[in-house]
Structure 1
């Protein structure tokens, strides 16, 4: 069965982290509804570092009852943050191809999105159309599923 992946980033010191929430198609609508329901009134999106400890606990408790898988990709930034990111994006793309993924959505970094697109196209090679993988960048407030990798990255960083 094909999957959809939603990706966000985090950086601390010289470590770059790319988190990819991998969601089965049958779970997409249910998870979006759950995440939208976790927002406070007038809140456009969940951004975990801005939440209070009590809210974080509430959100994590709700997500613990789901079947979301989050894959993590780490790289060293000593040779540059963009280079580290593109290494992670290339590995992620390969893993998604192996999994038969249908869609890859990355949290937009606006002008820097072109770097990701080039890396993905290169990773897909000359058979890009045959893979069936659709990929795009979206602002995080446009799809609640982009909040999942933000949450996972925050939790991982907090535990380190």
Structure 2
């Protein structure tokens, strides 16, 4: 799972830049569905944002590991972030909401960290973690492109 950090003052500008990348008929960018030249174009724009992306890895894609990743994201942004936006996974939506409520209390940021669970087309900044995670897991040149602004975090 990937979590991109964006300065509050840059949010609107970055969203606009990402929306400008949409092709006619596209509602969102999904890196897995893009062709290599488009992937390079998209990552080029993402690189220009000077973001930091935290990467949380687990052996398998299970609900338990999703919980571990989300808890680690809340832990790592508690006290330093104003808002956390998670991409909605229909099969885990209520689980995620409950977990986020519990984690913000556990890490003492329930009054300072606002969070939302949104569908990917609702916030273009959700496309950034998707693209970076794809590059990271793909490896090779793709991983090298994103490595300068990524850090692997402990669960």
Q: TM-score, normalised by structure 1?
A: 0.80
Equivalent residue in structure 1 for 2:70, among 83, 89, 100: 89
- The reply to whether residue 123 of structure 1 matches residue 103 of structure 2 is yes
| Equivalenced residues, count | 139
Question: Which runs of no fewer than 5 residues in structure 1 stay unpaired?
Answer: 1-17
CA contact (8 A) 2:78 2:109 kept: no
Given that 1:121 and 1:128 are in contact with CA atoms closer than 8 Å, whether structure 2 keeps it comes out as no
Structure 2 gap ranges (5+): 141-155
1:36 touches 1:144 (CA, 8 Å); kept in 2? yes
> Equivalent residue for 1:19?
2
Q: Higher strand fraction: Structure 1 or Structure 2?
A: 1
TM-score, with normalisation over the residues of structure 2? 0.83
CA apart distance, 1:128:
5.1
> Which segment drifts farther, 87-96 or 63-72?
63-72
Q: 1:87 to 1:54 in 2, by over 3 A?
A: same
Task: Quote the offset at 1:156 in angstroms.
Answer: 0.5
Correspondent of 1:74 among 38, 57, 61 = 57
1:112 aligns with 2:97: no
